[in-house]
Chains A and B, each alone.
Chain A
């Protein structure tokens, strides 16, 4: 065989092989905000999981203890107690389970549904695209809370119905993002090349199109979990979210309204919990967006 190797090749060899995922993680870890966000979420998730083992739902979380009602934060109750004497710290920890499951659960369902429809619309274009996008526009035009209120009042109040209601609006934003991103990838030469290689269309979408359109979708996931947690809390605040006495943050905030003059911490603490969780998710989302942005690659 003819030797065609060229010397310059060995020079590049020292470059360590690094996948795009590893590269993104490396860049993400350089972003202080993203690290803070990740740490906060990690602690919150661990706390939410552990709270189920440490505290008993019936005795610690929802049982009333009138003797200790309306106590300001102290050593015995670091976040104080509410008007029924329940420890707010325990309820906040336990409430993280609701917020996190509803937030990530509805975004996950919305993600799957949205990416499937968005990819189909973006890849095939034409009539299919028109039908999917116009239907989506109709959903998008109605305020999220409105849709959720309608669905929950039709199906009844329960955690699962709330999750279902919120995933409708989540999916409509994923449809848009997935479509836009697939449309740019579809025109790339490597897609044409994959066709020339003889790959069937479904394999091309699965192996070449979707992996390449993931970056904006990943960013949207983190940002949307935050928004969804707020929506879930808003609905609970309005009384159509997670039914009481479950310690959902929005419901806790709502319950504290009557005492806001003499026991403001009952409102403030769940509010802060919502705020910090959403802030952490946004910090992480911003960090991810920067890490995945090809223009910032070095």
Chain B
């Protein structure tokens, strides 16, 4: 058991997070299991509201409380329990061992501090170095992300969106974290800049020994970067496997729907094919499989019993009751 843990950079077991709002309880994450082997990149895919960002914040124990509350589960980072740490241990861990890249570079930088100061801030906090030393390391970081080091005394408003995201990446990597969480790092950027930033992230991952959790709803980004993929729906993992497993041997109906929803450039003029129905209201506690109301294969059992992740091959897992029937295959009729 102990040996097994060593392999994992991140291990999340049965994580449940809820937000207690005035309007009622919002169930954001409902029993999530996830692990990332060290030096691997895992893509966490799912639509808006699936609980991806809440999962990321839980890993840093940063779920805003109140209203958020982690009601059950365990999170191990390099073998250490994150939820059991006191505030000092957490502050030591954040930014140093685990860093996070935020979604919107326009708001993720402090507008009244120079970018150099913001990079150096994290370096000075976690390493006992002088201000000059930390500034020279900040320059190094800027060069690493492809920004001229002469701009170290510039303010965020003097940079474009893509450049700001580079700065955000530089801040995240300033202390050489072992684990990086990238929460939709390219979503707020336009397509050409997306490609540049993606290329940068890819190269930085390749060069370092980091494990990465890449959160996105963009399947193209996942295909580009990730070793493994986990598909999230309504606060739970419904399918996970290597990129090859999930892209070429789809098992879960939802994953299939997700792929079929992508507009096809070759068939212009064809109607878009979204998945029928809506994601369940997160304020209702779900009894059975959360996808059952939209699933063409749903049976009575799906409405009453939560499907566990079942092993379909050495690397490929799916949470679906339909695979009780050994001959079951998807018929490709999920999209309307």
Contacts and interface: CB of A to CB of B under 8 A. Distances in A.
Nearest to B181: A196
B137 interface: no
A188 B62 contact: no
B112 A212 contact: yes
A17 B158 contact: yes
A198 B94 CA distance: 4
Contact of B94 (A10, A195, A212): A195
B333 interface: no
Nearest to A210: B112
Contact of B102 (A6, A9, A192, A212): A192
B125 A198 contact: yes
A20 B160 contact: no
A54 interface: no
B99 A196 contact: yes
Task: Categorize the interface residue count of chain A.
Answer: 20 to 34
A161 to B, nearest CB: 38
Given A9-B148, A188-B107, A196 B100 contact: yes
A17 B154 contact: yes
Given A126-B66, A199-B125, A190 B91 contact: no
Interface in B198-242: 199-200, 203, 207
A18 B155 CA distance: 8
Contact of B112 (A20, A193, A194, A198): A20
B59 to A, nearest CB: 10
Given A196-B62, A196-B95, A198-B91, A190 B107 contact: yes
Contacts of A17: 114, 151, 153-155, 158
Contacts of B148: 5, 9-10, 13
Interface string A1-43: 1101110011011010111100000000000000000000000
B155 A19 contact: yes
Contacts of A126: 66
B138 interface: no
B1 to A, nearest CB: 30
Nearest to A15: B158
A192 B172 CA distance: 13
Contact of A5 (B93, B99, B146): B146
Nearest to B110: A190
A200 B91 contact: yes
A2 B102 contact: no
Interface in B112-138: 112-114, 121-122, 125-126
Interface string A194-221: 1111111000000110011000000000
A194 to B, nearest CB: 8
Contacts of A199: 91, 95, 121, 125
Given A4-B203, A17-B155, A198 B108 contact: no
Contacts of A9: 146-148, 163
A58 interface: no
A10 B146 CA distance: 11
A126 B121 CA distance: 30
Contacts of B147: 5, 9
Given A20-B155, A198-B95, A189 B103 contact: yes
B154 A15 contact: yes
Contact of A189 (B62, B91, B107, B160): B107
B121 A197 contact: yes
A189 B108 contact: yes
B332 interface: no
Contacts of B17: none
B92 interface: yes
A193 B66 contact: no
Contacts of A196: 60, 62, 94-95, 99-100, 102
Contact of B159 (A1, A12, A189): A12
Given A12-B160, A197-B122, A197-B125, A4 B199 contact: yes
Contact of B110 (A2, A12, A18, A212): A212
Nearest to A125: B66
Given A6-B146, A9-B163, A198 B92 contact: yes
Contacts of A212: 110-112
A189 B104 contact: yes
Contact of A20 (B96, B111, B121, B168): B111
B196 interface: yes
A28 to B, nearest CB: 17
14 contacts: A13-B148, A13-B150, A17-B158, A189-B102, A190-B110, A192-B102, A193-B171, A194-B110, A196-B94, A196-B99, A197-B171, A198-B94, A199-B121, A212-B112
Given A5-B147, A20-B155, 5 more contacts: A19-B155, A189-B103, A189-B104, A190-B110, A208-B113
Interface of A: 1-2, 4-6, 9-10, 12-13, 15, 17-20, 126, 188-190, 192-200, 207-208, 211-212
Interface of B: 60, 62, 66, 90-96, 99-100, 102-104, 107-114, 121-122, 125-126, 143-148, 150-151, 153-155, 158-160, 163, 168, 171, 196, 199-200, 203, 207
Lowest 4 A-B CB distances belong to which pairs?
A198-B94, A198-B95, A197-B95, A4-B146
